[in-house]
Amino acid sequence: VRNLYLARHGQTEYNVMDRIGGDSSLTELGHRQASCLGEYLKNYDINYVFTSKKRRSKQTAQYVVDQMENCTVIPLPEFDEINAGVCEDMMYSEIKEKYPEIARDRSYDKYGYIYPEGEGYVTLKERVDRGLKKALFLSGNAERVLIVGHQAINRMILSHFLFRRQEDVPYILVPQNSLFHIISTQQKKLFELVKFMD
Ligand code: G3H
């Protein structure tokens, strides 16, 4: 792959409520963001789109696929959002109330913290690296590949390509109106952040 595009799914019902996990759908704004992503990428010939198994990722990817003539979509479970275990489907404020120790411990070490019955950034790394390997293998020498991921997943993917201190990774900004474009050749690696919607 020479050009890797990394986008996050558009806004979801859960995002609006500040709720984590689950499998909610895009909101109206989310659909618009996805449509702008498709509009932007239609100028480029995307050969492969990798999504997670979640609805929001697939819905977003569809807007891009609709703009392409010949594009293969492959959903990979390795790109599913971080599993928040006992906190799945909760609002951050509910977590603070019901499990204050989880909120506290996670704020002390967000990278190393593992949700009870779930995952942490530290355990996510192996899964995301495996997904990336799979995606790069399946797309062979394709020129342009898009991954439509999630907040935590995209943070891990970015940290794979760009040097970041581990403790900073869980705080990387992953907006829903922009994409990351990573150009990789033998001689150079270029990185750009493209805003496709205001
Ligand atoms: O849990 C879902 C979120 O997208 C991950 O965000 O690690 O900042 O809580 P967070």
Q: What is the structure's pLDDT at 186?
A: 86
10 annotated ligand binder: yes
**Rounded Cα gap, residues 154 and 7, in angstroms:** 8
For the stretch 101-150, pLDDT in tens is: 999 999 999 999 999 999 999 999 999 999 999 999 999 999 999 999 99
Positions marked active-site: 8-9, 15, 56, 81, 150
Give the neighbor-by-neighbor strand order of the sheet with 48-51: 72-75, 48-51, 144-149, 3-8, 178-184, 189-195
CB 104 within 8 A of CB 75: no
Q: What is the structure's pLDDT at 60?
A: 98
Q: What is the structure's pLDDT at 163?
A: 83
For residue 170, report the distance from its CA to the centre of ligand 1, in Å.
Answer: 8
For residue 37, report the distance from its CA to the centre of ligand 1, in Å.
Answer: 22
ipTM over 0.90: yes
Q: How many CA atoms lie within 13 A of 24 on its CB side?
A: 21
Q: What is the structure's pLDDT at 15?
A: 98
Q: What is the structure's pLDDT at 97?
A: 98
Using a pLDDT cut of 90, give the percent of the chain over it. 94
| pLDDT beneath 70: ranges in the chain | none
Q: What is the structure's pLDDT at 185?
A: 86
**Mutation test residue for ligand 1: of 12, 16, 82, the one with most atoms within 8 Å of CB:** 82
- pTM over 0.95? The answer is yes
